[in-house]
Amino acid sequence: MIVTGFNTNVINRRHGARRNPALPLSRVRSPHASLEWCVGNLTIRPFEPADIPAAALLLAERQKRDRKRLRMLSKALEDPSWWEGLFRRAHESPDGRQMDRAVAIRDGKLAGFLIGERMMLGPREFPSSFVPPQSISIDTSGHGVAKGEDATEVCRALYAFLSDHWVHDGFFVHRIDLTAGDRELQDAWVTLGFGSSTTAAVRGTGTVNYVRKPGVEVRRAGAGDIDVVMRLVDTLNRHHAQAPMFWPMLRATDDAVREFNLASVRDPQNPFFVAYDHGRAVALESFLRPGFTPLIVEEEKTVYLYDGVVDPGVRGSGIGSLLLDRAMAWARERGIERCALHFASGNPSGAPFWLGHGFVPVQYTMERRIDERIAWADH
Ligand SMILES: CC(C)(COP(=O)(O)OP(=O)(O)OC[C@H]1O[C@@H](n2cnc3c(N)ncnc32)[C@H](O)[C@@H]1OP(=O)(O)O)[C@@H](O)C(=O)NCCC(=O)NCCS
């Protein structure tokens, strides 16, 4: 049995059979999606279209609570009909995406829900440069807990129900997006073994203080500068491969990443700023519109900072701040009010730099890696 704590009270009601906790994982048929589990007085069952209005209401209320702390979050998402539209579109045209969905019901009411997507990207595809292979992704629209419910109890029951399928099917990496500052939800997922992998943060487009290094100038890159851009992207990847991040540098995605950067730099919407120190390219800050701004943040009037890197030899001499200031001026001229980005939560260089320059965390991607030995070890 892979989920401890559920051995005695998880009952397959619809089929009238108690799950046998003694069977080793490899011989347990994962419960079919149509089954129901009872955990205490919570019933866990698959998410149905009839659950959409209650789930949408729950997310709208959560956004309202979160927006009291984080004013840069989108007001439009305080309206349940915004979420209903999102759910209905996903139900009606799943686009080949493989989702697993569950709800927790207590006393006939929705206590919470969980929706995870099975990520099965090809190793050469662009998103494989940041999404782990064969992983589960639970985005911000994929989970919610009703007010007054014990978040840890509800999330644990829902996660047990779905992760039983995921682990059985060989999905050992699970990731979930949590809005920053929601202590209850954060505690619930930390209790389940999740830790922060990336942080999304937002700042206004106000000026940035810096001391100008003599001989440094900033130019906007074009398609002809793609080799310079890719050399600096490579420097950033090398940084992320080091302790304590240990993000693997994947050569398999090189072509796709280059294609993505080339297409982006060609689009006038996306400024790529390169700093030259006495004529030598030493730093890059590239921006995308819309980029990868988290769903919960108002996308309009937001620019996304995609890659930010300075050559190791000239770090700490003001070049990163100069580029940021230059980019914020560009954004202000266009009426753009916010800048969003992601950084590796454990990045000893990037994290303090962005936080020190006014970026406020809005979302954490929390990750759990299951011990693969569960697939073959004795029970
Ligand atoms: C993060 C990074 C882009 C910042 O660029 P940078 O040029 O090193 O940053 P700056 O020099 O502008 O600022 C760094 C610090 O030096 C200080 N500084 C700036 N000019 C200075 C000067 N002339 N003399 C002394 N200190 C100076 C800044 O105040 C800042 O300190 P603070 O953060 O305490 O305020 C760069 O260090 C880097 O490439 N790191 C590795 C890759 C990385 O982590 N990228 C981010 C990925 S999300």
Q: What is the pLDDT of residues 186-205, one digit of tens each?
A: 999 999 999 999 999 999 99
Return the best residue to mutate from 211, 353, 354 for the ligand 1 pocket (most ligand atoms within 8 A of CB): 353
Residues whose CB is less than 8 angstroms from the CB of residue 270 and which lie 6 or more positions away in sequence, other chains included: 264, 286, 287, 288, 289
Which residue's CA lies nearest to atom 1 of ligand 1?
350
Say yes or no to pLDDT of 22 above 80: no
The pLDDT confidence band at residue 35, using thresholds 50, 70 and 90, is confident
Which residue's CA lies nearest to atom 17 of ligand 1?
316
pLDDT in tens, 70-124: 999 999 999 999 999 999 999 887 788 899 999 999 999 999 999 999 999 999 9
Give the ligand 1 atom nearest the CA of 322. 12
Which residue's CA lies nearest to atom 30 of ligand 1?
316
Which residue's CA lies nearest to atom 6 of ligand 1?
320
The pLDDT confidence band at residue 220, using thresholds 50, 70 and 90, is very high
**The predicted structure's pLDDT at residue 93:** 79
**The predicted structure's pLDDT at residue 32:** 47
Give the ligand 1 atom nearest the CA of 236. 42
Report residue 294 as tokens.
């988290």
CA pseudo-torsion sign 212, 289, 80, 34: negative
Give the ligand 1 atom nearest the CA of 285. 3
**The predicted structure's pLDDT at residue 30:** 47
Give the ligand 1 atom nearest the CA of 321. 12
Give the ligand 1 atom nearest the CA of 348. 44
Q: How far is the CA of 276 from the centre of ligand 1 (A)?
A: 16
Contact 260/286 with Cβ under 8 angstroms?
no
Radius of gyration of the chain (CA): 23
Which residue's CA lies nearest to atom 7 of ligand 1?
320
The pLDDT confidence band at residue 45, using thresholds 50, 70 and 90, is very high
Q: How far is the CA of 328 from the centre of ligand 1 (A)?
A: 16
Ligand 1 environment, Cβ below 6 A? 210-211, 236, 239, 308-310, 315-321, 343, 347, 349-350, 352-353, 356
**The predicted structure's pLDDT at residue 12:** 36
User: Hey, what amino acid is at 74?
Assistant: S
Average pLDDT score over residue span 54-73: 98
Q: How far is the CA of 350 from the centre of ligand 1 (A)?
A: 8
**The predicted structure's pLDDT at residue 7:** 30
Contact 353/316 with Cβ under 8 angstroms?
no
**The predicted structure's pLDDT at residue 96:** 83
**The predicted structure's pLDDT at residue 108:** 97
Give the ligand 1 atom nearest the CA of 349. 44
Say yes or no to pLDDT of 1 above 80: no
Q: Chain-wide mean pLDDT for the chain?
A: 91
For 23: left if phi > 0, alpha if psi spans -120 to 50, otherwise beta; the answer is: beta
Q: How far is the CA of 173 from the centre of ligand 1 (A)?
A: 33
**Helix pair angle (151-168, 183-191), 10° resolution:** 40
DSSP state of 311: -
Q: How far is the CA of 359 from the centre of ligand 1 (A)?
A: 14
pLDDT in tens, 149-178: 999 999 999 999 999 999 999 999 999 999
- Give the number of other Cβ atoms within 10 Å of residue 114's Cβ: 25
**The predicted structure's pLDDT at residue 210:** 93
Q: How far is the CA of 194 from the centre of ligand 1 (A)?
A: 30
Quote the CA–CA distance of 105 and 112 in Å, as a whole number: 7
pLDDT in tens, 289-298: 989 999 999 9
Q: What structural domains and CATH numbers belong to the chain? A: 11-193 (3.40.630.30), 202-364 (3.40.630.30)
187-195 contact pairs (CB < 8 A, 24+)? 187/151, 187/152, 188/145, 188/151, 188/152, 188/154, 188/155, 188/156, 189/155, 189/366, 190/366, 191/152, 191/156, 192/155, 192/156, 192/159, 192/368, 193/368, 194/366, 194/367, 194/368, 195/366, 195/367, 195/368
**The predicted structure's pLDDT at residue 25:** 35
Show the CA angle centred on residue 194, arms to residues 131 and 49, nearest 5°. Answer: 70
Q: How far is the CA of 353 from the centre of ligand 1 (A)?
A: 6
Percent of the chain with pLDDT over 90: 87
Q: Identify any residues that bridge with 226 across adjacent strands, giving them in sequence order.
A: none
Give the ligand 1 atom nearest the CA of 344. 48
